[in-house]
Amino acid sequence: MTQNPIRPTEHIRRDCARKMRSLEKSGTFTAILGFLLDEDWTTPNIEDLRMYDDRHLMARTSGQASFKAFRGARAGLIRNIHQAAAEVGLDGDELSYLLERVAEIKTMK
């Protein structure tokens, strides 16, 4: 029986980014995914992403000093990621990577 080697996190990130890059999505979702995957897919790109009370996603783009609110909440972002993952065929490791990145988003008070 052959054992499956454990993929390094960087390989998981790159595979996820390659698959997600092919997805047709809104500019906002593209920017958010780019941030989560450490990719530079938009101009300006998101430099920092925060959550305010789990109901508002806040982003600071390159060259901006303040955060701007996006429509949507953590639950909506997670739902959109699940839908996109199914569409592009992310495997369990890739989906887990993205969801872990969402869980790491700091909360503003």
**Across-strand partners of 51?**
57, 107
The model's pLDDT over 60-93, given as tens digits with 9 standing for 90+, comes to: 998 888 988 877 788 899 999 999 999 999 999 9
Look at residue 1 and tell me whether its pLDDT is greater than 60.
no
**Mind listing the pLDDT tens digit for each residue in 13-71?**
999 999 999 998 888 899 999 999 999 999 889 999 999 877 789 999 988 889 888 77
Say what the pLDDT of residue 2 is: 62
DSSP classification of residue 25: -
Q: What is the DSSP string of 61-83?
A: ETT-SS-EEES--HHHHHHHHHH
C-beta separation of 35 from 17 below 8 A: no
